[in-house]
Structure 1
Amino acid sequence: MEENGIWGIYEMRIAICDDEKKLRNSLRRVLETQLQLDGVDYEIQEYECGEDLLARIEQNVPDILFLDIEMNGMDGMETARELRRKYQDTVLIFVTAYPDFVFQGYEVHAFHYILKPYKEEKIREVLGKAVEETGLNQEKYYLVEQKAGTLRLPFGRVLYFKSEGRTVEALLDNGDMEGSAAYEIVKFYGKLGEIEEEMPSFFIRIHNRYLVNLKYVDKLEGSSLDCGGQSLPVSRAYKQAAAVAFAKLMLK
């Protein structure tokens, strides 16, 4: 079912995955206190094992994940490998009682690590760096509200938006996601004109029904352009502006 596209205050998503409830609670308490002091809107999800995290992550993909390495069942490294197959943007922070495990983090692009037992000042330090890291990308998403949660459409992965009556289709590039189809279509209720107002400058209108990401345009010729291997129509009303925008991009 299609969902509504919205813009609003972004709520940072943080996840804690640890098989020890006491340690989850301890970490959560420090995180909540610091986030509130910093004025960050947030939500925190807890998972007791890697299997639980991976089973539910699509409903709420975290911006920041605190992941215990030594867990019963699927350990943290195996969980991180599976996570990275689909989710490249999550800032991953390993939690471990054994410093030797830290060096394994490079394989899964771990951002940082925290040693057990927790030291509050270290948690606050790492959290601050992680929030800063995610903050670089907070404004680069279009948010689509779904029953299962909020879906984020990264501007950089959207080839184009296509209007179909009251429905908008977004075509996303999945090329960097192992095991996924090359492209993904997301449908939601919305108006192309309203979406256009919120898009970065590299999105241009080429037709009443199309809003295109110039970074995916291979060729613009006559009344059509090639975008992601597809030929899209360019209407007379938008032809000149589209040609100028494409030429400027080529000169950069």
Structure 2
Amino acid sequence: MIQLAIVEDEDSYANQLIEYINQYQAESGNYFKISRFSDGDEITHDYKGQFDIILMDIEMKLMDGMTAAEEIRKLDSDVVIMFITNMTNYAIRGYQVDALDYVLKPVSYFAFSQKLGRAISKMRKSSSKIISVDTPSGVRKLDIDNIFYIESEGHNLTFYTTGGDFTIRAKIGDFEEQLSPYYFFRSNKGYLVNLKFVDGVENGACIIAGKQLLVSRARKNDFMSALTDYMASLP
């Protein structure tokens, strides 16, 4: 089921979008759970990355849609955002928040259905390698291919990613099983590494992003075997 949010302060437009979504659902076989918000501040409050697609009005009273999208992007880089507007001069700012598209008011069903189909395609393409991580500020969605490695220290895990580092309270075992199908390997009790980013192995350590991460003696043979399997899987 696709989790879809409508952020629209005018009931007439919100009801029209719900009607169009129900029609699209009947025609396409895609099923939606629809949540309605009347302003940008409503959806950003306690946002937990729970939506796949957000249809966002731009002009709203308390928090406009562009500001709301900027706040959402701080926590969720993968949700598909489409703006609903009667103004076309927001295109440049839309690129800054990685908006997929614009639906211009008045909304026609044909145009809306085409854009919704595109949004679903993008969502499904990106969701296959996405994990959700609970952080103190909310749920953060991560593309697995952007994780260099995860370091465990005490009760904390630090994720080292292409987009920066962040720390959460969790156990490394919580992610080891989840990530193992994607060529992640536990090089020792403190590191879960993405074999995609291993640049070399020397002096009992693997090199990732310029850092040497210890490979324990007990895991060395299994690590080299896993690395060989990964290399063999490359096209």
Instruction: Check whether TM > 0.5.
Output: yes
Partners of 1:32 and 1:135 in 2: how far apart? 20
CA-CA distance at 1:138 after TM superposition = 1.7
Give the match for residue 113 of structure 2.
Answer: 124
Equivalent positions of 1:34-183 (< 5 A) are: 34-35=24-25, 37-57=27-47, 59-102=48-91, 104-142=93-131, 152-160=141-149, 171-173=158-160, 176=163, 182-183=165-166
Distance in 1, matches of 2:64 and 2:175, equals: 44
Structure 1 stretches of 5 or more lacking a match? 1-10
Distance verdict in 2 for CA 1:209–1:85, change over 3 Å: closer
* Cα deviation code 1:172-227 (max 9, x no counterpart): 34663xxxx72233526966674355x213x2342467532124445532333355
Count of aligned pairs: 231
Q: Which of structures 1 and 2 has the larger relative contact order (alpha carbons within 8 angstroms, sep 6+)?
A: 1
**1:158–1:13 Cα change, 3 Å:** farther
Partner of 1:21: 11
- C-alpha root-mean-square deviation of aligned residues, in Å? 3.7
Contact 1:65–1:91 (CA under 8 A) maintained in structure 2: yes
Alpha-carbon contact 2:5-2:53 (below 8 Å) kept: yes
Task: Find 2:192's aligned residue among 184, 198, 211.
Answer: 211
Match of 1:33 among 5, 23, 26: 23
Q: Is the Cα contact below 8 Å between 2:205 and 2:215 reproduced in 1?
A: yes
Shift of 1:134: 1.2
TM-score by length of 2: 0.75
- TM-score (ref. length: structure 1): 0.71
Cα shift at 1:14: 1.8
- Unmatched 5+ stretches in structure 2: none
Q: Using a 3 Å threshold, how does the CA distance of structure 1 residues 230 and 104 change in structure 2: closer, same or farther?
A: closer
Residues 1:38 and 1:207: Cα distance change in structure 2 (over 3 Å): farther
Cα contact 1:144–1:188 (8 A) shared by 2:
no
User: Structure 1: how far apart are the matches of 2:31 and 2:157?
Assistant: 27
> Using the alignment, how far apart are the partners of 1:211 and 1:243 within structure 2?
14
